[in-house]
Every structure is written in C-alpha cells, then in structure tokens.
Amino acid sequence: MLAVGTNDVGLLTFAMPVHESLSRGIATVFDKYVIFWQKGYQSTDNVEGSATSKLKGVAYTNISNSSDLRTPFPERYTRVWDVSDYVIPAQQTNGFFVMTNMVLSPMQSRGACPEDPEIDRDACTTDVECKPDEGIITGNGIKTGRCVNATHPKTKEATTVCEVKAWCPVEVDIRPLWTSAILEEAENFTVLIKNSISFPKFGFVKRNILDTTDPMYLRSCRYSRLKDPLCPIFRLGTIVAETGQSFRQMAIKGGVITIDIQWNCNLDLSYKLCLPKYRFIRADEQDAKIAGGFNFSWFDTPLRVGFGKFYRINDTEYRDLTKAYGILFQVKITGVAGKFDIVPLMLNFASGVALLSLATVMCDVVVLYLLKKRKYYKEAKFQNVASNENGPQKTYEEVAALCEQALVTSLPITQLNNNHQTPPGMGGSNHSLRDEITHPTTNETKKPTSL
C-alpha cells in the first residue's frame, strides 16, 4: 500500500483545534516554568565562602551521687568545664567539635601492666600463650611473655590476661554513666558562626551578620527559625532540635550534624534582600548497630603549655588520656545567585520556539490514535491510490509509473489513475521516465533534459 499526502479541508477541521491547544500548552509551560520560575532570563554564579566559629559556655559536673554510675573513679569527673576543655581542637575550618561525654585515663606512665580483658586474644592461662614482643593490633601494648591476674572492668570477676608494655594503667573503654552524658549542660552552650560569601562573577560580597549600629544585637539575639532566623548565634540544643533529634540522647555517644548555610539570591533585586537561610541535618546514622556516634582519643596536659602532650613528676613521665565523645558540627555553604543577562534569555527563547515544532508531531499522534473520530482524520489525511474501484489492484510498478507521469504532466494522480492516460513517450507502465532519460534510442542520441 502506498500513501500520498493531500491538503484536504477535512484534515484542517480535525487537526487545527488539537494543534492550537498543543501549541498553547507548550508555550505556556515554557513561559511559566523556564522563563519565570527557573529564571531563564538570568546568568548564574555559584557561591564561594568560608565560616569560622566561636563558642561560649561553662559547666560544672559532679557524678558521685549519680544513680547510673559505672566508673570506679567518679572523682575524676568532678570539675569545671570551659571552652578550652570541651572544644577540640580549638579552631577548625568550616566546623567545630564539642565534647559531651568522655572516658578519662589520667596519669598514665610507661611500664608493664595487665591488658584490658575486653580486648580480643589477650586471655590466657599460662605464660606460653603470651608470646613475648608480640603486639595486639586492637590492644594497648606489646606482650611481655607473662600471664597475670586482672579484674574484668564490667563484671568485676577475676581473670587472667597477658601482660603488656604500655602506658599504664591501660585505658578501659567504659563510659562513666549508663544512660546519660557527663556534659549534658552543653545543650545551653552557644556558638557564633561568622560566614563571609561572594559571587565572583558579579563582584558581590556579603556576610551573614546584619549591618546594624546596635552594639547589643549580638549579645542578646538567639537564632529561632520563626522569631529570629537571621541571628548568627545558635544555641547547641536548638541546632540538634532542628534535626528532629534529642540533644541529651545524642550527647551520650556523639554524632555528626551538618549546618547548611544557603545563599540563593536574585541580584536583580536589592542588596539587602540577599539573606542566608539555615538548614540543619544529622549526617551520621542514628540507629547504627555497631561503631555508632562519634569519638576519638587525645592527650591533655594540666597546664596546657603550647602543644605539649606529656608532663613529669619526680622524673617520671606521665600523660592524661581522654576518649572524647561529642558532636561534630560541619558548616557547609551552598547557593546560587542570578542576574539579568540577554544571552541566556535569547537562548531560552530560541529553544522555546524550536519546541513548538513538536506540536505538529503530537497533533498527529493525538488525532490518529486517540480521538474518537480518528477514522475520518485518516481518510482526510491519506489517500489510497494503489487500488482501483473499477479494476484490479495495481502493482507497485504501476503505481510508481503513475507517480512519474504526475511529475511530467503536472496532472493529479487521481485523474491519471481514473483515466488511465499515458503521456507520449512513456511507453506504458513498465517504461519509466528514468529509462527515457538515461537510455537514448539507437536512431538519435538525446541529451539528458532537466525536470
């Protein structure tokens, strides 16, 4: 079957309403979404910036009378804590760590002592099982070759373990309280986050602290998502609450929180309208079965002289080991700024005009396959010339000959099909115009003519 297009009026009757609706729909979506909603008339630039933090807060702890006490040395935790005690290290780039819980191992000195019974592969019954100078990867020292008595830190039962050369007594990783953290009061500590940003493409620079002449502003304001969303001073408990978590629960084992400072600005508007928005996310897995929370070990000195980690008493070298649990706050700066530019506007406009060409294709799909009157549209759009109402069905060669006749005579195919006219020189349906042009007769050589 061969189909030939026709300009029937019925085609327009069915197609025009559909084509018009599709064209309007494409134009509306493009204008509303691409140009206005996505600001297709603007050139954009990504934010660049940095953030620093400054914490404040003091707490006093005394767990001697706690009902969930686990440590045999509660006096180690009776003390005052200030910023220099719980912020480790003192300064970070785009982040800060606040210690909320800890395991203290003070006054460790080099020597030989029993390994922690909780360590794998350190239990023994005889000296033979403790190979000298062999280290335990997850342990605290090097075996001396002796099997010695020890007390299990959790069950308080007597046991035997390998002796090790290490900092003694070795660290016993048992949190001092069962169901709470030492520094629960850190919930009320505050942090000032100073954030400076720029959009280099537009020469735009700004920071997150409002330009105000009130000297008491930073002393009195506290961030609140509803009441004061632009204050750069945050209560730690508020930050954790914004993630949907409990500060006191997170303080036991620690965690990781991301503070996302978003700068999405329309620079076609006023400078003052480019303002930050804060978003808070808990970045670690809350319900991890093993290795949950956030902790690390570090060394401290009573006098904090420089970066010293050790101290001496009567010619004996000591160190204070602290395993710190706490919350790591990571500050992330994101955002995009846009400003009017004729180039992206023209590019998006040209793309919209090109999309209108899809209306014709979509129109054909709709009216040919979806509308109830698709049969009439097919009859109006296509005309079958391969069959003859008054005669047998034509072959492909006969239909091809009709097409070539139409090119030469400029007569409609329907008229040639009905009258069975063959113009002079065609030689019937099996003699094509191509043959006459490319194969001249023997009596006279003919030059190819242009159609």
Bond prior to 89 in cis (omega within 30° of 0): yes
Token representation of residue 79: 């003390």
Q: Looking only at Cα atoms, what is the longest distance across the chain? A: 131
Element (H, E) at 17: helix 9-29
Residue 39 corresponds to which tokens in the numbers above?
């600001």
Helical (H) or strand (E) element with 325: strand 316-334
> Whole-angstrom Cα distance, residue 346 to residue 340?
12
pLDDT confidence of residue 444: 45
Cis ω on the peptide bond leading into residue 440 (within 30° of 0)? no
Show binding-site residues: 54-56, 190, 323
The span from the CA of 277 to the CA of 271, in Å, is: 16
CA distance 86 to 298: 12
User: Burial letters for 294-324: b for 16+ Cβ neighbours within 10 Å, e otherwise?
Assistant: bbeeeebeeeeeeeeeebeeeeeebbbbbbb
* Annotated binding-site positions for ATP: 54-56, 190, 323
Residue carrying structure tokens 């632009």: 230
**Cα(263)–Cα(296) distance, integer angstroms:** 33
Distance CA 102, CA 173 (A): 10
* Phi and psi torsions of 201, nearest 5°: -60, -35
In angstroms, rounded to a whole number, what is the distance separating the alpha carbons of residues 94 and 196?
11
The domain spans of the chain are 7-41+341-374, 46-115+170-338, 385-451
For residues 181 and 295, give the distance between their C-alpha atoms in angstroms, rounded to a whole number: 13
For 200, which DSSP code?
Answer: G
DSSP assigned state of 225: T
Taken as a whole, the chain contains a residue count of 451
Would you state the pLDDT for residue 18? 65
Q: Tell me the Cα Rg of the chain.
A: 42
**Chain-centre distance for alpha carbon 360:** 39
Virtual torsion, Cα 99, 100, 101, 102, nearest 10 deg:
20
SS3 411: coil
- The beta strand positions in 169-252, using DSSP E, are 190-199, 204-207, 233-235
| Alpha-helical regions (H) of 171-275 | 217-220, 236-242, 247-253
Give the C-alpha distances (Å, rounded to integers) separating 224 from 113, 219, 232, 238: 53, 15, 10, 8
**Residue among 394, 338, 241 at smallest CA distance from 38:** 338
Report which DSSP code applies to 245.
-
Per-residue pLDDT of the chain (451 residues; tens, 9 = 90+): 444 444 444 555 555 676 677 777 777 776 677 777 777 778 889 999 999 999 999 999 999 888 888 887 888 899 999 998 899 888 888 899 999 999 888 888 999 999 998 887 788 999 999 999 998 888 889 999 999 999 888 788 899 999 999 999 998 888 899 889 999 999 999 999 999 999 999 999 999 998 887 878 888 899 999 999 999 999 999 999 999 999 999 999 999 999 999 999 999 998 899 999 999 999 988 766 666 666 666 555 443 333 336 788 888 888 888 888 999 999 999 999 999 888 887 887 777 777 777 777 777 777 777 767 667 666 666 656 555 555 555 565 666 676 667 666 766 656 656 655 444 444 444 444 444 433 444 444 444 444 3
Euclidean distance between CA atoms 281 and 293, whole angstroms: 15
CATH no. of 46-115+170-338: 2.60.490.10
Q: How far apart are CA 145 and CA 131, in angstroms?
A: 5
User: What single DSSP character describes residue 273?
Assistant: G
pLDDT, residue 48, reads: 95
